[in-house]
Structure formats: structure tokens, C-alpha cells
Amino acid sequence: MAIVNVFAGSPLDRASVRRTDEGWLGERLRSPRTPVVAMWEGKPLVTEEARIAYLTADRALDAAEHPSTVLFLGLDGDTPVFAVEMTGAADPTDGPLAGMGRFAELRGVALSLPGPEAAVIAAAKSLFDWHRRHGFCSACGAATRVVDGGWRRACPSCDAEHFPRVDPVVIMLPVANGRCLLGRNVGWPEGRMSALAGFMEPGESIEEACARELREEAGLVVTRVAYHSSQPWPFPSSLMIGLVAEVAEAPATPDGVELEELRWFTREEARAVLDGHHPEVATPGGLGVARQLLAAWVEDAA
């Protein structure tokens, strides 16, 4: 059975053929029955019960500045779902959206949201973030415009096309002889440890990125890599590729640049970390795939 991490598992059909149909998109956006996800400063509008507080399109567009970025997120059954971004210093729930909910930090509310709703918000958050940082053409410098329901930017000056980017990150749990290794990043408080991670570089396979990161950051030699699961990570737009890496038994040495401390754990100790009962080490947060990697290994499923 496929593992669905937090921020994956969107129920929407992305219906990419509809993205280019501007007439259809405009018509749906004018319908009072079309639900719209509102985001302000990267925060989704949610209800007190931590559900998406959908707005009608007219209400969302009235509350946003013009022109605002509008995304077609996909179809929920036959119903098109859009997202609109609000900008500016003033919280719209103190103004035109009073009584409609609250704008919440996604990290804080993600585990309270139903999984499918967290996934819908994650896609919108990553796309809005990309639009904010890609207003100008990287080829010629001209201002670009949003097309395809928000899934592309087009340059009217040189005709370059720009697509939302996803940055792959390998995140891996090193294991050897019945023990697993967790690390503490430079700057993390004492006792906070997690799996090791790093951005992939051009020209690397996933296995090669995993081996390089573990060699550079911990002085380890990888002998085998097993894929576990992946996770869209909307801070701002990564894809976490979760791996379990068998390594040759050797002292693990933190590089002092990225990692400050490394420590081996038996399954029993790792279980105590997950359960919150370890006397010194705190569990990786519940949002990320690191916790799933550790749990899978503890249960001997990895």
C-alpha cells in the first residue's frame, strides 16, 4: 500500500487540459458555486475547526488586490476549485473577510487539517510562492504574466515559458547492524535530532545524492539505498525523497558545518524517541517524512 505523507494525497483531479481554456476558467470563476481557497502572506484561511474556509469566487476576488494571482487547482468531482492570494500588511479577516475564519500558519495547522485539505493548501502555497519570486523573465528580464490557470508564466517579450519549480531533497535514515543514525543540525537545540537531508544537485541520481550527503556530512560509506516514500514540502517548494541507507559500520563524524552531532540508536532507543520517552533526544516533528522513516525502521518495515 502506498504511503501518503502529510501534504500528499490531494483529492483534486488537476485536469491539466482545462488550464489552457481561458473561457472555461473565467466562466467557472464567475459562478457563485465555485469554491475558492484564500491565502494571505502564505497562510490559508481556515475555520475554527481547522478546515479550509472556502470563499465564493466573487467574495475572494473582492477581498484581493487587483490584479491578484488566481490559481485553478483542479476538479473536486465536477466542481472546479480555485485559489486566490491576498497581499498587503492588513489581515483581510480584520476587514472584508471578517467572520470568515482566520489565516493560519500552515506548519501550525497542518496536522489538524484533514490530510486531503492539507494537500490542497500545500499545492496552492508552493505555487503562490513561486509566482511571487518569478515576476520577471529569467531569460530577458521582462515582466511575465500568469497563464494556464497559474501553472505557467509566459514572457511577452521573448516568448520564454516558465514552469513552477520543484526542488528535490534526499532525506535519509542511515542504518548499520541493527542501529540507526540521527543527526543534530548546527543551530538546533540540544536533544533535537532527525534524519539527514540535503538538496540534490544537477547531474546526480537519488542514490548518488544520498551517498554524497552521507559522506560529506557524516563521513559514512553507503552500501545500499532503499526508497521509502516521498513528500511534497511546501516551504517553499521541495520534494522530500525519503530513503533508508545501509552504511558500512564506521565511526560517524559530523562535519561541523551542517551537522553538529551524530548518534546511533538501537530500535528500542529509537522507539523511545518516537514515543517521547527518550531521556535526552526529542522526536522528529510529526509533519515530516523523517518521522515516518524512523517509525518504519523501528517496526522493521523499512
User: For binding to Zn ion (CB under 5 A), which residues are involved?
Assistant: 137, 139-140, 142, 155, 157-158, 160
Nearest CB to Zn ion, comparing residues 131 and 184: 131
Q: Which amino acid is at 108?
A: G
Nearest CB to Zn ion, comparing residues 15 and 139: 139
Nearest CB to Zn ion, comparing residues 137 and 294: 137
Nearest CB to Zn ion, comparing residues 161 and 190: 161
Q: Which amino acid is at 236?
A: P
Q: State the minimum distance, in angstroms, from the CB of residue 141 to Zn ion.
A: 7
Nearest CB to Zn ion, comparing residues 96 and 164: 164
Q: How far, in Å, CA of 151 to CA of 253, rounded?
A: 43
Q: Which three cell numbers stand for residue 250?
A: 564506521
Q: State the minimum distance, in angstroms, from the CB of residue 160 to Zn ion.
A: 4
Nearest CB to Zn ion, comparing residues 111 and 158: 158
Q: State the minimum distance, in angstroms, from the CB of residue 153 to Zn ion.
A: 10
Q: How far, in Å, CA of 92 to CA of 26, rounded?
A: 24
Half-sphere exposure of 39 (CA within 13 A, CB side): 26
Q: State the minimum distance, in angstroms, from the CB of residue 136 to Zn ion.
A: 8
Q: State the minimum distance, in angstroms, from the CB of residue 282 to Zn ion.
A: 48
Q: State the minimum distance, in angstroms, from the CB of residue 123 to Zn ion.
A: 26
